[in-house]
Amino acid sequence: MVDKISDLTADSKEIEVEATVIEVQDPRTVNTRFGPKQVATAVLEDDSGRMNLSVWEDQIKVVKEAKKIKLSGGYITVWNKNMQLNVGRGGKIEVVE
């Protein structure tokens, strides 16, 4: 079942969302325990609202070139009191348009 952005909560897991990519910010380098990695923030929108999505490494190009994506296996984190969507280890991003 596809979730609506407005229905997501801080406890949401195994999220499946189909949404339009509104914006993808320029990637930035962050230091992780696995070394430096590229991360970018994308803004997604469906008919219920908007939410930020964190995309890493190869996912950045996929999301930048898409108009609409389907994300599965997602989860929510809270950063600076704002919820953001993340792709889980077994999750994936598919281009719809």
Q: Could you tell me the domains of the chain?
A: 5-87 (2.40.50.140)
Half-sphere exposure of 49 toward its Cβ, with a 13 Å CA cutoff?
Answer: 12
Give the residue among 10, 68, 46, 34 at the shortest CA–CA distance from 93.
68
> What residues contact residue 90 under an 8 Å CB cut-off, 6+ apart?
73
pLDDT confidence band for 1 (50 / 70 / 90): confident
pTM for this prediction: 0.92
What is the tens place of the pLDDT at every residue in 9-41? 999 999 999 999 999 999 999 999 999 999 999
Mean pLDDT of 42-52: 97
- How far apart are alpha carbons 81 and 32 in whole angstroms? 22
Q: What is the pLDDT of residue 93?
A: 96
Phi (first) and psi of residue 81, to 5 degrees: 65, 15
Percent of residues, the chain, with pLDDT higher than 70: 100
What integer best gives the mean pLDDT of the chain? 95
Residue with tokens 């219920």: 48
